[in-house]
Structures are given as C-alpha cells and as structure tokens.
Structure 1
Amino acid sequence: MSKESTELALDDAFNILSNSRRRYILYYLYTRDEPATIEELASQIAAWENDIPVDDLDDTARRRVYVSLYQTHLPKLDDFGIAVYDRDEGTVRLTEKAEEIVRYLPVERRETPQFTWYYVVLTAGAVIALLGTAFGLPPFAVVPGTLIALAFAIALLALVVYQYALTRRSEDDDLMKLEDLE
C-alpha cells in the first residue's frame, strides 16, 4: 500500500471520527455486535447527548438526532463502506472495514461469559440431587434433602449476584468510555 493511499485512508478515518454522532454510532453498533434500527440508534444517541435515560427522552430530541442520522451520518458511513445502511428496512450494521476505524476509539469488544451454561449445569445438578434423594441413592441418602436444597439455593444466589455485579461493572465501563467519545 502506498503512502498516499494510507494517508487518504487515515484522512477518511479522521473525517468519519470528527463527529460525535458518528462515533456514537460506531460505538453502539460495535459493542452490540448486531444490526440496529435507526430508531434505536437515534434514541440511544439522544439519551447520551442529553445525559438522560432513553425512557425520559422527548420526541423533539429523538427526532433531531434521527433526522441527522438519516440524512447525513448513516449515508456517510455507508459511502465509506464502514456500515451497511438499508434505508428501506431502516437498519444499520457494521462491515468488516469498521475495524479499521473503531481502533481509533476507546472501545474494546467485550467478552461476556455465557451464563446460560452455568444455569444449565446448576439445574442439572439440582435435578440429579433431587432424584438421588428421592430414590435414596448414595451419597444423597446420607445428606438430608434440606441441606442439598440449601446448597443449591446458595449456589444459585451466588451466580445471580456474580452476574449482576459483572453487568453493573460493564455498564459503568460503558459510561466511562462514552465520556471519552465526546
């Protein structure tokens, strides 16, 4: 790749990143890792810009952002090949080329544990313990059913608390990263 084409790509990247709404679009789509509707984007960006929850937005703030996304920012991302903007469907998704731009943002793709498997294993263990207790199978015949139930209840509570703590920490991290995008 020649120096001139690299500079042009870098200029394009900075052109794209020069606007906070485009940075918000990239951040939102990149951290979600799935397409979004223009309505979702407009609502979330308006909430971030006004520093309020999405539920507290008024239609004027939402509409103002929607119009700028629809007319300016999404077509620009589409023109540069960073996103696929389907006007008919009203959806937007990032392309692989977005990786070239997102690296300039304070964004990390988050690897979240799949808690579904933890719950499946815990449930399977509880069912096995229940059946073992009901049929008097060792070692469940020796331990009272109440203690087994208590152990699984404590394990379930610990898992729920752990999942909640991870979710809260991830939300706090997202807020700090959003401040860096402004």
Structure 2
Amino acid sequence: MTCSRADAAGSCVRSESVDLETLLTLLAPDRRRQAVLTLLDCERDVSLDELSRRVACRPLESTTCEPPQSLIDRIRISLHHSHLPKLHDAGIVEYDAGRRTVTLTTESAQLERLLDDVQFVKQ
C-alpha cells in the first residue's frame, strides 16, 4: 500500500497494494532491510529501543551482543526519522511514534517473499 493522499485529519489514505518498484525502493537501504528482517523474526510488536538494539546485533547474528550505546542511538534515530515512517506510509508496518512501537501489517507478506528471493539470489 502507498500513501496516496491525506484525509481531513491528516491521516494517510492508502491504496490497495504495494507495487514491485515501491517494494524494491523500500528494500534499497540496508538498515531498512535489517529492520524488516528483524521484525519478521520477532513476530510481535516491538519497541523502537528493542528494534534498534536487535538491528545493531543483526550483523553478528547474536541476540546476546552488547553493541555500543552510540550505535544503538544512531540506529534508533534513523529508524524513527526515516525508515519506519516510509515503511508505515507504504503499509508495511504500523509505527506509533508516540508509543514508539512497531508492528508488521498483513502487507508485510509481500515484503517477506521479496526478501526471501533477494536472499536466495545473494547466495
């Protein structure tokens, strides 16, 4: 889904599906891909802080790593200001900036299939 226009309250009015070009654009930044892969692994609502820590640990393939706080802060800022709003506008995640929680939507299935295909090609 894409945010095609805003309603009277300023909320995003979404179209019905995400086209391939939009999905590929969404997946272009590595940090955004890592965030989506992390959310797919979690299978539940995640706080922005937890997502940031898990994204920082993802390259190490460890859930017990202790990344530097400065790295977690940089990731959290980029997720909050750039990546999560774009994913939210496309209907891939529900991001509540006030509560700082992220939830995958049903539209994420398209993204998951595309990520699986990308991972297969990389191998």
Q: 1:103 aligns with which of 102, 113, 118?
A: 113
Query: What one-letter code is carried by the residue in structure 1 that aligns with 2:26?
Result: I
In the alignment, structure 1 residue 73 sits paired with structure 2 residue 90: no
Q: CA separation of 1:31/1:52 partners in 2, compared to 1, >3 Å: closer, same or farther?
A: closer
Query: What one-letter code is carried by the residue in structure 1 that aligns with 2:50?
Result: E
Structure 1 runs (4+) greater than 3 angstroms displaced: 52-55
Structure 1 partner of 2:73:
63
> What TM-score, normalized to structure 1?
0.51
Q: CA deviation at 1:68?
A: 0.3
Q: CA separation of 1:12/1:52 partners in 2, compared to 1, >3 Å: closer, same or farther?
A: closer
Percentage of identical aligned residues:
28
Q: Deviations over 1:7-61 (max 9, x none)?
A: x711100001111111112111112211101101111111224x38554211111
The structure in which a higher percent of residues are helix is 1
Q: Which has the higher contact order (CA 8 A, sep 6+)?
A: 2
In the alignment, structure 1 residue 26 sits paired with structure 2 residue 36: yes
> What TM-score, normalized to structure 2?
0.74
Q: Which has the larger radius of gyration?
A: 1
CA RMSD of aligned residues (A): 2.0
SS at 1:92's partner residue?
Answer: strand
Distance in 1, matches of 2:67 and 2:34, equals: 17
Q: Deviations over 1:78-117 (max 9, x none)?
A: 010110000111100011111111101138xxxxxxxxxx
Instruction: Identify unmatched segments of 5+ residues in structure 2.
Output: 1-17
Distance in 2, matches of 1:72 and 1:39, equals: 15
SS at 2:94's partner residue?
Answer: strand
The structure in which a higher percent of residues are strand is 2
Count how many residue pairs are aligned between Structure 1 and Structure 2: 101
